[in-house]
A and B are shown apart, each in its own frame.
Chain A
Amino acid sequence: MRVTNNMMMRGYLSNLNNNMSNLSEYQRQISSGKAINNLSDDPVGLISVMTSKMKLEKNDEYTATVDTGLTWLKQTDSSAYELNQMIQSAYETVMEVSNDTYNGDDKAAAAEYIMQLRDHVLALSNSQAGDKYIFGGYNVDKEPFTLDAGGNILYNGIDLTNAADPDLIARDGESITYEIGPGITMDISITGTQLLGMGDDNVYTVLDDLYNDMISNAPGSTLGGYIDKLQDCQDHVLAVESRVGGMMNRLDLLQNRYEQENITYTELRSKVMDVDYAEAYMHYSMAQAIYDGALQVSSQILQTSILDYMR
C-alpha cells in the first residue's frame, strides 16, 4: 500500500489520542476509586450495583425498625419482669398473712405494703419507651391506665373489670405492628389487657381487692384465696415475659441476618463498583509507557523525510 505522510500523521494522531483516552480513563478510575463512572461503563455490572444499593438501603430501613422494636421490647420486658416481682412480693406477703397468726394491726401494716405494690403496678402499666406508652395499644400519647372516681381501673377509658365489653375486647387485639423484613410483620406491642389481664382477675384489681380485704381484717381463709389468684396472675405475666423474650430473640436473629447480608451486598457492590488499585495502576503504568513510546517515535520517525537526504 502506498503510504503518505498524512496517513502516518493521521494514524499517529489517532493512536496517540487512544493512548491519551486510556490514560485518562485509568487516571479517572484511580482518582475516583470507582471502576464504573458512567452507566454505560458496565451496564450488566450496574444491575448488581443497583440491586445491592437498593438491598442495602432496604436493610438499613429494616435494621432501624428492628432497633426501635428492640428498644420497645426491652422496656416491655423489664416492665413485665418488675411486675412479676411485684406479684411475687404480694404472694409472699399473702402467704405470711393468711396463716392467722397475724392480728389486725399486723394485717393493716401488710396492707400498706400491698397498696404500694398495687400503685407501683399501675405506674408500671403506664411505662414509656421514649415518649410513648408501651401498653396502650394505639393510644401511645396518653396514660392507658387510669382510675375512675371510685378507684376502679380503666384501660383506655374502658372499665378493665368487665371482660365481656366488646370495646375492651377490640382493644385487646389492638397492638402496634412493625414490618421487620420484606413482607414480615410482628406485633411489637403487648396491650395493657394482655399484660394485666381482663375482668376481675386482672393484676391491679386482685391487688386492690386484697388490700381492701386486709385492711378490713378479713380472716386468713379469705386471704388464702388470693394465693391461687396471684399464682394465676404470675403465670399470666410469665407468659407475657416469655412471649417478649421470644420476639426479642427473633429480632436479634434478624439483626444478625441484616448485618450478614450487608457484608455480602457491600462486597458484591464493591467488586463491580470499586477499582482494583493494583490492576488499575498496572494498566495506568502500561498506558503511560505506551504514550511515552508513541511520543518518542514521533520525534524519530515523523520528523524524517527524504528532504533530510537531498542536497
Chain B
Amino acid sequence: MPGMFYGLEIARRGLNVNKQAMQLTGHNVSNAGNEGYTRQRLVIESIYPNTKNRFGRGVTVGAGADVTQIDQVRSQYIDRQLRDEYASLGQWDKRSEEMQFIETIFDETAETGSITTALADFYDSLGKLTTDADSEEVRTVVQQNAIKLCETFNYYSDQLTELQKSYNEAMSVSVDRINDLLTSIADYNGEIMGYELGGQKANELKDSRNMLLDELSKLVNISYEEDSSGRLSVSVDGTVLVDHTTTTLLEAVPDQTGVVSGEPNFYSIYYEGTTTDFAYSGGELKAYQDLRDSNTADNMGVPYLLSRLNTLARSLAQEINTVHETGYTIPVGAGASLTGVDFFELPAGGYGDITAGNISLSAEVLANVRNIAASDTAIDLAAADTQKGNNVIALEMYALTSSTTLGTVGSFADYLKSFVVEVGVTSAGAQEMAGSQNTIIGNLETRKESISGVSVDEEMINLISYQYAYSASSRVLTAIDEALDVLINRTGVVGR
C-alpha cells in the first residue's frame, strides 16, 4: 500500500497535466488564425502503479496522469494529395492567368485596333483601288492602310516577344526561389532532427517546413519521402534534390535563344555545375516554360502564336508581291512606268526572312503612291491613251482577299479567324482547368482544415473541462491536506 503522500503526488500530477492542457489550449487558440498551423493535442497517459511499492496484499490505484507527448493532428495522406495537386494548380493557374493576358492582346471583340480590323481596312482600300486605279487619294489610302497593317503586325509581334522575355525572366526567378526553398528545407531537416534527438517534438519547425514544401510544390512537381528516423528527402521526376541536409541545386544559364523569336539570353535550367537539363513536368515553372517555348497547337505558347503571325505576314507579303510585281506603276516625274516593283519589302534572304516583326512596305511604295502597280500595261502619261485607268492588277490583288486557295494559309481572313478563335478556346480551356483544379484544392484544403484546423468552440469546451479538472485536482489536494492535518495535528492528542 502506498502512503498518504502518494495521493498528494497524484493530485500534483493532475494539476500539472491540466495546467499544461490549458496552456496548450492557449497555444492552439493563439494560432487559430495562423495559416500553416497544425492543431496540437496532448497525449495524456495514466501512470501505472509502481509495482515495487506493493509490499503487502491488496491493490494499488494508478499514479495519476502524465503528458507523454505533444502531437500534431494532421493527415499525411491529405498532405501528399495536396502537394500533388498544388503542382497542377500552380501550372494551370499561371497558364490561365497568362492566357487571359494574351487574349487581351488579340482583342477581337473591340471595334477598332485589332489585327482583323487592320486587315479588313487594307482589303477595303484595295477594293477602292479597283474602282479608282488612277486616283492618287485612293492610292494614298492603300499605302496608309498597308502601313497600318504592317505596324499592327509589328506591334503584335513586339508584344508577344516581350511576353516571351518576361516568361524567360520568370523562369529564372522561379529557379532562384526553388533553390531558396530547397536550401531552407535542408536546413529545417537538420534542425528538426537535432531537436527531436533531444526527445522533444519539433512541431513548430515541422509546420514551417510543411509550408515550404507547400510553396515548393506549387513551383514544381515534387515527391518526398520521410524515412522512419525522420530524414526527409525531396525529389523531382526521380532526381533527389534534397537528401536530408544535402541539396542538389539548380542553375539558370542564359545559353539559348528564344524559340521562333530568336531573342538572345534565354535560360536553360541545369542541375548546378552541370549541363544536364533539369527534368520536371509540372508547377508554375512548367507553365512558364510552356508559354515560353511551346510551338504546338495543343499546348500553345508564345512561339506558336508568333509563328502563326509570321506565317500570315509572310504569306500576305508573298501573295501580294507576286501579283504586284507583274503590274506597272504610274510614272513619277519624267520616269518610266516601272514593272517588277515589290509592294512589301522583300528581304535579301527571300520571303522566308519576313516575320510579323519586320514586315514593311517596299521603299518604292513608301516613297511614292504612284509606285503601287494597279495596271497590267505600261502607263504613258504623255500618250493619247494613258492607260491610267487600267485596274487589272488591282483586281488580281483584290481577288486574293477573298481567295480560299492561297498556298500556306488558304485564306488570310479565315487563317486569322481560326487563329484568334484558337487563342480563345485555349484560354477558356486553361481557365476551366484552373477552375476545376481550384475546386479540388479547395476540397482537399477543407478536409485538411477539418482535421488540422483549430476550432475555437472546441478549444473553449476543452478549456472548460480542463479548468474543472484543474479545480478538482486542487480539491483532491485540499482533501488529502485536510486528512493529513487531522492525522498529524489532531491524532494521538487524546487527553491533552
Q: B residues within 8 A CB of A53?
A: 108, 116, 120
Question: Is A166 part of the contact surface with B, judged by Cβ < 8 Å?
Answer: no
Chain B contacts with A in 356-394, Cβ cutoff 8 A: 375, 377, 383-392
Q: Is the CB of A50 within 8 A of B420?
A: yes
Chain B contacts with A in 299-313, Cβ cutoff 8 A: none
Which of A1-9, A81-89, A253-261, A291-299 forms contacts with chain B? A1-9
Q: Is the CB of B399 within 8 A of A39?
A: no
Question: Is A14 part of the contact surface with B, judged by Cβ < 8 Å?
Answer: yes
Contacts A11-B446, A54-B413, A273-B109: A176 and B456 contacting too (C-beta < 8 A)?
Answer: no
Tell which of B127, B399, B442, B458 touches A64, judged by Cβ atoms closer than 8 Å.
Answer: B127
Q: A residues within 8 A CB of B120?
A: 53-54, 57
Question: How long is the Cα–Cα vector from A14 to B461 in the complex, in angstroms?
Answer: 28
Q: Is the CB of A140 within 8 A of B389?
A: yes
Q: Is the CB of A138 within 8 A of B131?
A: no
Question: Is B8 part of the contact surface with A, judged by Cβ < 8 Å?
Answer: no
B86 to chain A, nearest CB (A): 17
Chain B contacts with A in 392-447, Cβ cutoff 8 A: 392, 395, 398-399, 402, 413, 417, 420-421, 423-425, 427-428, 431, 442, 445-446
Question: Is B12 part of the contact surface with A, judged by Cβ < 8 Å?
Answer: no
- Beta-carbon contacts of A109-138 to B below 8 Å, as 1s and 0s? 000000000000000000000001000111
Tell which of B130, B417, B427 touches A179, judged by Cβ atoms closer than 8 Å.
Answer: B130
Question: How long is the Cα–Cα vector from A138 to B106 in the complex, in angstroms?
Answer: 42
Question: Is A47 part of the contact surface with B, judged by Cβ < 8 Å?
Answer: yes
Q: B residues within 8 A CB of A139?
A: 384-389
Question: Is B481 part of the contact surface with A, judged by Cβ < 8 Å?
Answer: no
Question: How long is the Cα–Cα vector from A62 to B420 in the complex, in angstroms?
Answer: 25
Q: Is the CB of A306 within 8 A of B461?
A: yes
Question: Is A307 part of the contact surface with B, judged by Cβ < 8 Å?
Answer: yes
Q: B residues within 8 A CB of A64?
A: 124, 127-128, 131
Given contacts A138-B387, A141-B134, 13 further A-B contacts (CB under 8 A): A2-B455, A2-B458, A38-B104, A39-B106, A46-B424, A53-B116, A54-B417, A61-B123, A64-B127, A141-B388, A142-B384, A306-B457, A310-B464
Q: Is the CB of A39 within 8 A of B391?
A: no
Contacts A40-B99, A177-B392: A306 and B456 contacting too (C-beta < 8 A)?
Answer: yes
Question: How long is the Cα–Cα vector from A2 to B108 in the complex, in angstroms?
Answer: 49
B370 to chain A, nearest CB (A): 13
Q: Is the CB of A57 within 8 A of B123?
A: yes
Q: Is the CB of A39 within 8 A of B423?
A: yes
Question: Is B453 part of the contact surface with A, judged by Cβ < 8 Å?
Answer: yes
Interface residues of A (CB under 8 A from B): 1-7, 10-11, 14, 34, 36-41, 43, 46-47, 49-51, 53-54, 57-58, 60-62, 64-65, 68-69, 132, 136-142, 144, 146, 154, 156-158, 171, 176-179, 182-183, 185, 273, 305-307, 310
Q: A residues within 8 A CB of B425?
A: 40, 43
B381 to chain A, nearest CB (A): 8
B186 to chain A, nearest CB (A): 30
Contacts A6-B454, A142-B384: A46 and B116 contacting too (C-beta < 8 A)?
Answer: no
Q: B residues within 8 A CB of A306?
A: 456-457, 460-461
Residue of B with least CB distance to A45: B424
Question: Is B151 part of the contact surface with A, judged by Cβ < 8 Å?
Answer: no
Q: Is the CB of B456 within 8 A of A46?
A: no
What would 6 A/B residue contacts be, using CB atoms closer than 8 Å? A38-B103, A40-B100, A46-B109, A68-B131, A140-B388, A156-B385
B72 to chain A, nearest CB (A): 15
Question: How long is the Cα–Cα vector from A68 to B127 in the complex, in angstroms?
Answer: 11
Q: Is the CB of A176 within 8 A of B123?
A: no
Contacts A38-B103, A138-B375, A141-B386: A46 and B455 contacting too (C-beta < 8 A)?
Answer: no
Question: How long is the Cα–Cα vector from A141 to B132 in the complex, in angstroms?
Answer: 11
Question: How long is the Cα–Cα vector from A281 to B457 in the complex, in angstroms?
Answer: 42
Q: A residues within 8 A CB of B431?
A: 40
Tell which of A10, A47, A54, A307 touches B456, judged by Cβ atoms closer than 8 Å.
Answer: A307
B344 to chain A, nearest CB (A): 21
A33 to chain B, nearest CB (A): 11
Q: Is the CB of B450 within 8 A of A185?
A: no
Question: Is B32 part of the contact surface with A, judged by Cβ < 8 Å?
Answer: yes
Question: Is B492 part of the contact surface with A, judged by Cβ < 8 Å?
Answer: no
Question: How long is the Cα–Cα vector from A51 to B411 in the complex, in angstroms?
Answer: 13
Question: Is B451 part of the contact surface with A, judged by Cβ < 8 Å?
Answer: yes
Q: Is the CB of B390 within 8 A of A138?
A: yes
Question: Is B107 part of the contact surface with A, judged by Cβ < 8 Å?
Answer: yes
Question: How long is the Cα–Cα vector from A81 to B130 in the complex, in angstroms?
Answer: 27
B444 to chain A, nearest CB (A): 12
Question: Is B199 part of the contact surface with A, judged by Cβ < 8 Å?
Answer: no
Q: Is the CB of A7 within 8 A of B387?
A: no
Tell which of A1, A50, A179 touches B399, judged by Cβ atoms closer than 8 Å.
Answer: A179
Q: Is the CB of A3 within 8 A of B455?
A: yes
Q: Is the CB of B451 within 8 A of A57?
A: no
Question: How long is the Cα–Cα vector from A65 to B391 in the complex, in angstroms?
Answer: 13
